[in-house]
Amino acid sequence: MEQQTKSFVGANFYLDLSLGVGYSKKKQIIQFIKDQKGVIDFSCSNKTNYFITTVENIDDSNNYKTLSAIKHGAHVVEELFIFDCLDKNEIQDFTTYRHIVGTNTISNKKISSSFTTTPTTSTAPKLSTYTFTPSSLTSTTATKPLLSNTTTTTTSSIFSSSSLFSSNYKYTPPPPISFNVKPIPTYTPTIAPTFSYTSLLKPVVPISSPVLSSPTIVQPKTSTTIQPKVSKSLSTKEAEEDIASFFAFDLFDDDEDDQEEQESFGGSLDEYQDDEESMSDSFDIFDLFNDDSESTITPTITTLPTTNNKPSQPQPSTTTTTKSNSESQKRKDLLELKKSSRLELLNQKENQKKQLLEQKRVEKELKLLALNAEKEKRIEIERERRKKVLETVKSKVTFVSSNTSSFSSPSFFTLDKQDKDKSGYENNVYLKQVKEEKKRKQKEAKELESLQKAQEKEQRKQAYLDGVEREKQQQELEKQKALEAFLVRKAKREAKALLGEKPVVVEKPDEDLRKIFVGGIDFKDIQENKKLRPKEKLAIQKKRLDSLVKYMNNFGRVQKRNVFENHFFITFEDISSAAKAKSYFENIEHRKIVSTSIKSQLVLLKLNELIAPNHKFYVKIVKSQAQAEKKEVQKERQVQAKIEQDKVDEEIKWESQFDDWDVAK
């Protein structure tokens, strides 16, 4: 339980802090919750786990945010909880700050309707049922250490609808609440006085009590006698722990438990009404376990009867009632003390803020006063400086006017009041003279300006005329240069014409007379060789052709070679080389000699002997001599016709070259 109340992981928070909390403080709170892996909600919903607000909002019965949080099952927690967490930088136990149903300003009807329509989720551990016999109690109270040694019968839930509770217990709703103490639900036993009765011990045990965390399950119809330990009176810290556990107890479960309670106890919550006596009865049993005196308790766990009769409830004694009232008063005092301490803490923080604001205001006022004083000082210094400047200017004007004026009367601006009154006429005369002098100077300036403009205009006109003259001279020079260039070109053309006709270029004889054809090369031995791959066969065929082509260089200079798949053409530069090659290869012996020589070279070079050709090839000239001579005659005629046409074109060009004489003139 301690881990659940001190963990923000996955919890949703809806904040409604007081107006005195500043922006930076809110930012720190939100950052603290996010650092603890919590989530901030912007409105209250079913996902909201904690509604953190002020005590005033909790006390206000018409505060819709508080009522909405109660309806959605959120824990209503004071804002002091999150302030303490932030100040201590540690998550506190929220159960000591939690409010269950508000204060007495909320009506019973409104609280009942809120909790019957929307259940809240209880984080408290499941309780156990204790059974005692009234006759076995030797004292009216028992101490806390006794609770850890008593035998308990564990039930699944306070509001479970088991057969054990359905026939013997009925649920008593909260009485008309006096908010001096927190209300708790009570189970009223309906057994005879001779039987044992049960009561809830949750309000008197803290949340971390070992009694609730590890109860002992005992079979019915057994009884044990336990001797209690001696305990002293409760200290203030223990009382505060009791109150914290008292606040931490969740009064209501979810809707399914409400329906089971109504079905098992035979009625709805609206049918049950209680008074102050039922509350006092519940506190009577509470007081039995918190007395300062030593006592001996013999708890007896018995089987609950299954009859539907409702025996009378055992009446508490007068001593028990008195002690319960005193304990209740103590709780009230502690609650008031705690509330007042929290209010004092808030007031102290507000006072500190007010003091800081007042201090800042005073500092600001002092700063403004200092700035104003400095400003006044600067203004005074500037005023003195201007006075000195004016005095200096007046003295200089008086000196200049007294020494440079050619009139008998002094300057009007340097005269005193009496002098100004006496010399009014002279001053008017002087002012007229000044105006006339000014007009005369302005007239002279205008005449001088007009004269300067006329001179500038004349200069621009003369510059334009000079430019036109220079341009004409430049054109004459260019024309003279063009004439000289024309005469030079004419002389060159005349000298070129005297050279006569061009010599006829002697061309080489017809190509067909110089071209031989080599064919009939046999590749049968290469194709029949099964050891060679197709690519190797093609490579050897190509090398055989190349060997014959290279051998043709022995008959003269070769101009062109055209090699094909199984034959080739060789074009020599002259006809004699072609005729020599043809006559040599006509003899079969010569062809055998060529084949043998190529094979011997391959042996020396350690190459494949299949490259060497056999003697089964032939050589011939492409065209005969008669055909070549006929073609030669035709070519000579074409050349002669071209020479004559060139002469005609040259004469036309010679005549047209003199057409640019008009341009040169």
Q: How many Å apart are CA 495 and CA 575, to the nearest integer?
A: 41
pLDDT tens digits for range 439-468: 999 999 999 999 999 999 999 999 999 999
Q: Strand 75-78 and strand 12-16: pairing?
A: unpaired
Q: How many Å apart are CA 79 and CA 546, to the nearest integer?
A: 108
**Per-residue pLDDT, 362:** 93
Domain ranges of the chain: 2-114, 122-316, 405-500, 511-623, 630-664
Q: How many Å apart are CA 11 and CA 49, to the nearest integer?
A: 6
DSSP track, 412-466: GGGS-HHHHHHTHHHHHHHHHHHHHHHHHHHHHHHHHHHHHHHHHHHHHHHHHHH
pLDDT tens digits for range 136-161: 333 333 333 333 333 333 333 333 33
* Residue of 324, 247, 267 whose CA lies nearest to 290: 324
Q: Which residues pair with 222 in a beta bridge?
A: 301
- Average pLDDT for consecutive 10-residue bins of the chain (665 residues)? 63 87 88 88 86 85 85 87 86 78 42 41 37 36 36 36 37 45 44 38 38 39 39 44 44 43 42 42 41 38 40 50 82 89 91 92 92 92 88 68 48 49 70 90 92 92 92 91 88 76 55 86 89 91 90 89 89 88 91 91 89 89 73 83 87 69 52
CATH class of 2-114: alpha beta
DSSP track, 341-405: HHHHHHHHHHHHHHHHHHHHHHHHHHHHHHHHHHHHHHHHHHHHHHHHHHHHHHHHHHHHHHHH-
Q: Which residues pair with 198 in a beta bridge?
A: 131
**Residue 12 has what DSSP assignment?**
E
**Per-residue pLDDT, 100:** 59
Q: How many Å apart are CA 595 and CA 552, to the nearest integer?
A: 13
Element (H, E) at 590: helix 588-604
First to last CA, the chain: 125
Q: How many Å apart are CA 623 and CA 497, to the nearest integer?
A: 43
* Three-class DSSP category at 202: helix
Sorted by sequence, the CB contacts under 8 Å of residue 474 that are 6+ apart come out as none
**Per-residue pLDDT, 660:** 56
3.30.70.330, 3.90.1150.10, 3.40.50.10800, 1.20.1600.10: CATH of 511-623: 3.30.70.330
**Residue 592 has what DSSP assignment?**
H
336 is written with which tokens? 């008031």
- If phi over 0 gives left and psi between -120 and 50 gives alpha, with beta otherwise, what is residue 341? alpha
Q: How many Å apart are CA 523 and CA 190, to the nearest integer?
A: 129
**Cβ proximity of 297 and 136 under 8 Å:** yes
